[in-house]
Amino acid sequence: MTTIKKIQSDAGDSLVEVIIAMMIMGLFGLALVGALISAQPMALAFNKTSAATTQLTLATDQIQLQPFAACSSTTPQPYILTGAATTDNGQGGFSVTTSALPVAIAPIAISTTNTTKVSFTYAATLAATGGTGPYTWTVTPALPNGLTLSSAGNISGSPQTEMASNYLFTATSATGATAIRIINLTVATIQPLVHNPADTTYVQTSWTPCGDYATAATQVQQVNITTTVGKRQISRTIVKSA
């Protein structure tokens, strides 16, 4: 009888161990599923600040390479940030090759005496490779207010406010295959400032939007670039002689 009880006890212990192991595996499975479900939103939220900082640095480099043209109430933005969306090589098969988008310019006030805001148009074209065209493009979440994505992959419009965020772009081929890429898009305020030629002290408070002075071309100019990531503002400043 003792032996039988011992066998029954061992069987009961084994059953408990199996149940515990199944519970642990079930919890692990739930955690894994939860991680997979949250992976996409986490990826979209990852490192927006770093991406926006990189874009502002690139915009700063591009402005520094340009001559400082004259600016006035009719040409409040003498700096043209050109360049289509950049691409890299696909990893084989069907893939989105666009890896970065040009910085977009938010509306700026043309002078201190005129509060009229001037908006600037934006254009970029997404690219994919390895699939059967034509491709149909979608994006999540929605692009910044004022910008739209066409089904052909063209981003256009005039952004309304500065911001920086990551977006999940999806290309669908003619056969129904899909490829995705997370790309940062930064909308920045790029404000050219000039120094009042009558002020010989060159104090910081004498800098004013370029639309206030017709002689901007012969004055030292300062360019302030800012964008907002969440509640954090990132800025760059360029000071250069004409």
Same domain, 20 and 100: no
Same domain, 132 and 215: yes
65: its two tokens? 């390479």
Same domain, 7 and 127: no
Residue 111 belongs to domain with CATH number: 2.60.40.10
15: its two tokens? 């059953």
38: its two tokens? 């949250």
Same domain, 67 and 117: yes
> What's phi and psi for 85, nearest 5 deg?
-60, 135
pLDDT in tens, the chain (242 residues): 544 444 344 545 565 564 555 555 554 444 433 443 334 554 565 689 999 999 999 999 888 888 777 776 667 676 778 767 788 877 678 999 999 999 999 998 877 777 788 888 999 999 999 999 999 999 999 999 999 999 999 999 999 999 999 999 999 999 999 999 999 999 999 988 887 666 666 555 667 787 776 665 567 788 899 999 988 999 999 887 65
31: its two tokens? 């955690």
As a whole number of angstroms, the distance between CA 55 and CA 61 comes to 10
Same domain, 103 and 27: no
Q: How many domains does the chain have?
A: 2
DSSP one-letter code for 214: T
Same domain, 85 and 132: yes
Q: Which domain holds residue 122?
A: 46-240
Same domain, 52 and 165: yes
Same domain, 111 and 163: yes
As a whole number of angstroms, the distance between CA 47 and CA 51 comes to 6
Per-residue model confidence (pLDDT) at position 127: 95
Residues contacting residue 88 through CB under 8 Å, at least 6 positions apart: 97, 99
CA distances from 194 to 67, 79, 161, 218, 232 (A): 14, 14, 23, 10, 26
Same domain, 77 and 181: yes
230: its two tokens? 């969440």
Same domain, 230 and 129: yes
Say if CB 22 and CB 14 are below 8 A apart.
no
Same domain, 91 and 202: yes
37: its two tokens? 């479900």
Same domain, 117 and 32: no
The amino acid occupying position 33 is: V
